Chain A
Amino acid sequence: MYDELGRFVVFGILFSFLLLLIAFYIIHTKLQNNALFASYAARIFDFFYKPLLMVYIFIYKSPDKLHAKMAEIKNNAHRKKFIKTKNRIIIAPHCMRHIECRAKTTRTGIQCTGCGKCSFSEIRKLAEKYNYKLYIITGSSFVKHILKHPDSEGTDGVLAIGCTYEINKGMRELKGKNLVTYGIPLLSSGCYNTDIDLEFFEKELIYFEDAK
């Protein structure tokens, strides 16, 4: 009996290594641009997330590379589905605000007054132009408040701005909820005075608008 159990465990370990090898092969070749392969790799990486995190911390001393790669392949996997969505919202982090931001926080996030100190006034204009609802949230578990709120009913696409770690976490949480997520990474992490590449952001919005 123990003999069989041992065989089963060894087989399981070998099998998971095989799956991981295929996933690594995908992310290092052009196959990662294919939605099908990318979604396969994303699933595998999600499944082995914690052990991989351990390995990355051990080798690189920081898990940023893993998060960046995972966000990239998830974007590749979701791009085509995101084009088909109709009611989209943008979720942005509070750390992009100006230091002296005086905006109030409510159940639907931070209420931007559009004072022009940070890039949110620009983002707000872009969001209105391309029919997105903009929510500025104070943390990743705020997302569930927003999705519950009647204002955001019928949402099927979430464009998430954030550091790659938060994008990953948000995507993992929203996976089983009939939502398509797409991430726009911040230029720097650190939860303080962060910013995004506005030109790149607008390009992505135009891309999704044209492809509709």
Chain B
Amino acid sequence: MFILYLFYSPLKWFLSIFSINALFVDEILVEIQNAVYLEKFKKQTERKVVLLPQCLRSSSCQARCDPLFGFICTKCGRCDIGAIMEQAELRGFKVFVVPGSSFVKKIFKEYKPTSCIGVACPVELSESMQKTSVIPSQGVYLINDGCFETRVSVSDVIEKMELVSPLKTIIEQEKKVSSCAESQGDGLNV
């Protein structure tokens, strides 16, 4: 990773000479960072966040932007954010839809997450993951960039969430808790 940081700009320049897509470097960098933080990321169970970019929103989105939480999604179903939010809530993740990369700093100060999943275009992601290297993070890059009606594969994001808190175990835990509560209730009745 260090070597790749060192040769980041030369490599990009080199690739652009051979007209290879220079985003390639960023994608590799994100993959390596994912691998480096994977083990630490799996151990974190508290204060997990998912950071989504505002460009995922539909162009007719009416959501309000809050100074602390970013855009407040109403889950209207016009974009994929609602679907991701529902899955995230099941798994105990908090979702922030941020208007830009320097908003992330604010969230880190206010919410103090212990692990995060970031969704962004490769350039933005490799940069942000370097900045947020204080906590373990996982990155998912967008299918198309351009800051306007972009898309992300929802299953990839869910896969990343499954790494820490698989839905099966959560459901089992909930069942246990509810059965415990029932038995306690029975006990009280008797």
Contact = CB atoms under 8 A, between A and B. Distances in A.
24 contacts: A47-B9, A48-B9, A49-B8, A51-B6, A53-B5, A54-B130, A57-B131, A62-B105, A63-B131, A93-B100, A104-B59, A138-B147, A139-B55, A139-B100, A140-B124, A141-B121, A144-B146, A169-B123, A169-B127, A176-B16, A190-B102, A190-B105, A192-B103, A193-B67
A5 interface: no
B148 A191 contact: no
B99 interface: yes
Contacts of B5: 50-51, 53-54
Which of A139, A140, A189, A193 is the most central at the interface, judged by chain B CB atoms within 10 Å of its CB? A139
A13 to B, nearest CB: 10
Interface in A144-161: 144-145
Contact of A94 (B64, B99, B146): B99
Contacts of B121: 141
Contacts of B123: 141, 169
Contacts, number: 87
A109 B55 CA distance: 12
Interface of A: 46-51, 53-54, 57, 62-63, 93-95, 99-100, 104-107, 137-142, 144-145, 163, 165-166, 169, 176, 189-193
A106 B65 contact: no
Contact of B146 (A62, A145, A166, A169): A145
B130 A53 contact: yes
A192 B65 contact: yes
Given A53-B130, A54-B5, A141-B124, 17 more contacts: A50-B9, A51-B6, A57-B130, A57-B133, A99-B64, A99-B65, A105-B59, A107-B148, A137-B147, A138-B55, A142-B146, A145-B146, A145-B148, A190-B102, A191-B102, A191-B103, A192-B67
Given A46-B9, A63-B131, A142 B99 contact: no
Contact of A142 (B6, B103, B127, B148): B148
B7 to A, nearest CB: 8
A66 to B, nearest CB: 12
Interface residues of B, number: 33
Contacts of A46: 9
A144 B144 CA distance: 13
A46 B9 CA distance: 7
The 8 closest A-B pairs by CB, nearest first: A139-B147, A191-B100, A50-B8, A142-B147, A191-B103, A50-B5, A189-B102, A191-B99
B54 interface: yes
Contacts of A95: 99-100
A99 B71 CA distance: 10
